[in-house]
């Protein structure tokens, strides 16, 4: 078994019906993704004149309280379809149909749709137009998307619900901007199928890497080491939920992320976080990487954690 990028693309996009008029070309996604990956080339992206397409209804707050939005992020090759079921269920649990959808590209253009609700936990769904980006590309997205939303809708902290590669990026962003008072910071974060120490056969070979009795992985990739060496910057007020899958074959993976890679973040965050909870989902279908975000069992756990379901 080797990492099958074609199969991953098919699995990741199995529920994605492409709109060719809205979908950027493959060349655009790859080219801009590469430019965003390297810090020296990012100024070329910022030279582009920004455009904001705003179709949002902004409600007045329904009381005297600080709003803490719940923001949904997808990972590599994902899209709005990745978090659609989670957002729909969260709205049902809130007994509301109002949420803000944010579509953004690497040039800094925004399309805003829906409603910024006036309750304590407005819901935001973020979709990256250039979605074929790695960890540095998603890092770059978060570095300007979060402050843009914070300034526009006046919030200081947020709850993140992230799938796949967005999971380590949420942590990296919090750590990188921990010293910035005007940057929105995490209140809670729910991670689903996060690759914290490599992807199967791309830096992580199943059943080779192991966790010691303290939960520390014996093999650590550069991204993991980045988080490990800066773990003290992770605010002790943040609560963490980490959900990972095991399809119960001989690889001990969710088909793309190993259990060891997913669990390795405990060693970094558990001693720092306000609380740390971990849930393993098992089963050939229930625990599959690209199904986890639609799994009703997973969604119920997430919604209870983020406070929209009692």
Tokens 């590469």 belong to residue: 34
Q: Calculate the alpha carbon distances from 91 to 55, 99, 159, 299 in Å.
A: 20, 8, 15, 12
- Average the pLDDT over 282-297 and give the result: 95
The mean pLDDT value of the chain amounts to 92
Beta-sheet strands, E only, within the chain = 52-58, 70-73, 100-104, 110-116, 123-128, 157-163, 185-192, 199-200, 203-204, 239-246, 275-282
Say whether 101 sits in a helix, a strand or coil: strand
| Tens-digit pLDDT profile for residues 241-271 | 999 999 999 999 999 999 999 999 999 999 9
276 contact partners, CB below 8 Å, separation of at least 6: 239, 240, 242, 266, 269, 270
Note whether 199 and 227 are within 8 A (CB).
Answer: no
Q: Look up residue 274 and give its two tokens.
A: 């306000």
How many angstroms separate the CA atoms of 172 and 56, rounded? 29
How many angstroms separate the CA atoms of 282 and 277, rounded? 17
pLDDT value of residue 7: 52
How many angstroms separate the CA atoms of 196 and 99, rounded? 29
How many angstroms separate the CA atoms of 46 and 48, rounded? 5
Note whether 273 and 212 are within 8 A (CB).
Answer: no
- Average the pLDDT over 131-160 and give the result: 97
Other CB atoms within a 10 A radius of the CB of residue 216 amount to 14
How many angstroms separate the CA atoms of 276 and 55, rounded? 38
CA angle 240, 141, 205 (to 5 degrees): 60
Tell me how many helices (H) and strands (E) the chain has. Answer: 10, 11
pLDDT value of residue 204: 85
pTM score of the predicted model: 0.93
| Tens-digit pLDDT profile for residues 148-205 | 999 999 999 999 999 999 999 999 999 999 999 999 999 999 999 999 999 988 878 8
CA angle 84, 223, 43 (to 5 degrees): 75
């Amino acid at each position: 078994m080797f990492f099958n990028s074609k199969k991953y693309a098919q699995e990741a996009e199995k529920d994605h019906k492409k709109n060719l008029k809205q979908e950027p070309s493959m060349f655009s996604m790859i080219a801009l993704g590469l430019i965003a990956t390297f810090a020296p080339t990012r100024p070329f992206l910022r030279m582009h004149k920004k455009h904001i397409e705003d179709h949002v209804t902004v409600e007045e707050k329904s009381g005297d309280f600080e709003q803490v939005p719940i923001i949904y992020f997808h990972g590599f090759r994902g899209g709005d379809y990745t978090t659609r079921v989670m957002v729909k269920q969260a709205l049902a649990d809130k007994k509301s149909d109002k949420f803000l959808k944010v579509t953004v590209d690497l040039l800094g253009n925004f399309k805003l749709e829906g409603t910024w609700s006036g309750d304590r936990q407005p819901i935001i769904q973020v979709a990256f137009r250039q979605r074929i980006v790695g960890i540095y590309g998603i890092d770059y997205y978060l570095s300007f998307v979060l402050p843009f939303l914070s300034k526009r809708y006046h919030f200081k902290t947020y709850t993140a619900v992230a799938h796949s590669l967005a999971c380590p990026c949420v942590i990296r962003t919090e750590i990188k901007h921990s010293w910035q008072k005007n940057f929105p910071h995490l209140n809670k974060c729910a991670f689903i199928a996060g690759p914290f120490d490599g992807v199967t056969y791309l830096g992580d070979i199943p059943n080779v890497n192991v966790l010691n009795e303290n939960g520390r992985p014996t093999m650590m990739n550069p991204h993991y080491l980045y988080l490990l060496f800066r773990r003290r910057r992770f605010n002790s007020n943040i609560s963490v939920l980490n959900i990972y899958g095991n399809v119960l074959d001989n690889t001990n993976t969710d088909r793309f992320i190993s259990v060891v890679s997913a669990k390795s973040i405990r060693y970094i965050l558990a001693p720092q976080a306000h609380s740390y909870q971990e849930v393993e989902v098992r089963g050939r279908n229930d625990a599959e990487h690209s199904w986890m975000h639609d799994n009703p069992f997973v969604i119920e756990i997430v919604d209870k954690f983020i406070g929209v379901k009692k």
